[in-house]
Amino acid sequence: MERWWINGQPGRSIDVTDRGLTYGDGLFETIAIRDGRPRFLAHHLDRLSEGCDRLRMARLDRVRLAAEIAAAAEFRHGVLKLVLTRGPGPRGYGLPAASTPTLAWGTVASEPWASGPIRIRWCETMVTANPATAGLKTLGRLDQVLARAEWSQPEVSEGLMTSTEGRLIGGTASNVFLVTGDRLLTPALGRAGIAGVMRRVVLEAARKAGILVCVSDLPPSAVAGASEIFLTNALTGIRPVHALGAHAWSTGPITRLLQARLVAAGVTECAG
């Protein structure tokens, strides 16, 4: 990020007692800026609002926040990262009697990159399963950090993770979709994982297109049995997986159909 604002003021300084730092007590969003506008902003704010409710934080004023974010997107294409914490507080896990949330965001201009087919791998580090925070983009992401540190080969774009309960969850920074028969499958995230904004966009596009969609617990072995597999992320849209260990896939018909639907919805990366 090139420029940062903290609570509406230009700056990049966070107090050392901020509970976002001391306890991971907060949330974040990573939003694509396309043609000068934050893409799927309502979806991002939905997830942020749900996170505020579940973490017992006051909801932000959506209308005001949307206007501020739109004003911050002062370039054609790029990324806006938003961090919301419970704010500074005294030592101790207990919620402060009065706390002022910290809202930080950073922006950087960058061209969208083409989402071509990728090679992925399995990670040994597992995603923590806990219904208290499942689905949310909370600040504590050490599982993903340790998983991403498992490989350094540039030809491997992502790593698939299972939960500590043995279920397929997704990539370190992406959600996963499989096609089996005529069904589009993606893991249920009620116990682990992050409910990605692009995952929601794909699910909505698939249902509109009349594709049979199944959101459920999936074993890792479901991957090997899939006829198509792709990953989703707010910044990259749909990325078809062409290789995972000895398994190989080509970009199949359902993936192509969804890519076309997403391009029509503004996810132009999918045309790559």
- Rounded to whole angstroms, the Cα distance separating 84 from 20 reads 8
Q: Say whether residue 216 binds a copy of itself (CB under 8 A).
A: no
Residue from 126, 185, 195, 223 touching a copy of itself (CB under 8 A): that is 126
Residue 38 CB, shortest distance to a copy of itself, in Å, is 16
User: In the complex with a copy of itself, which residue's Cβ is closer, 130 or 216?
Assistant: 130
SS3 146: helix
Residue 244 CB, shortest distance to a copy of itself, in Å, is 19
Site residues for a copy of itself, 136-195, by CB under 8 A, read 138-149, 164-165, 172-173
Residue from 132, 208, 210, 221 touching a copy of itself (CB under 8 A): that is 132
- DSSP strand pairing (237-244 vs 118-122): parallel
Identify which range of 39-47, 124-132, 202-210, 256-264 contacts a copy of itself by CB under 8 A.
Answer: 124-132
Q: Say whether residue 70 binds a copy of itself (CB under 8 A).
A: no
**Binding flags for a copy of itself, 88-107, as an x/- string (CB under 8 A):** ---xxxxx--------x-x-
- Rounded to whole angstroms, the Cα distance separating 119 from 244 reads 6
Buried residues in 173-210 as b, exposed as e (16+ CB within 10 A): bbbbbbbeeeebbbbbbebbbbbbbbbbbbbebbeeee
CB 266 within 8 A of CB 202: no
Residue from 99, 125, 162, 236 touching a copy of itself (CB under 8 A): that is 125
Q: Say whether residue 264 binds a copy of itself (CB under 8 A).
A: no
Task: Annotate 29-48 with three-state secondary structure.
Answer: EEEEEECCEECCHHHHHHHH
- Rounded to whole angstroms, the Cα distance separating 180 from 187 reads 13
Identify which range of 38-46, 135-143, 225-233, 244-252 contacts a copy of itself by CB under 8 A.
Answer: 135-143
DSSP bridge partners of 133 = none
Q: Say whether residue 220 binds a copy of itself (CB under 8 A).
A: no
- Rounded to whole angstroms, the Cα distance separating 208 from 33 reads 25
Residues that bind a copy of itself (CB under 8 A): 1, 4, 6, 12-25, 28, 30, 55-56, 79, 81, 83, 85, 91-95, 104, 106, 125-126, 128-133, 138-149, 164-165, 172-173
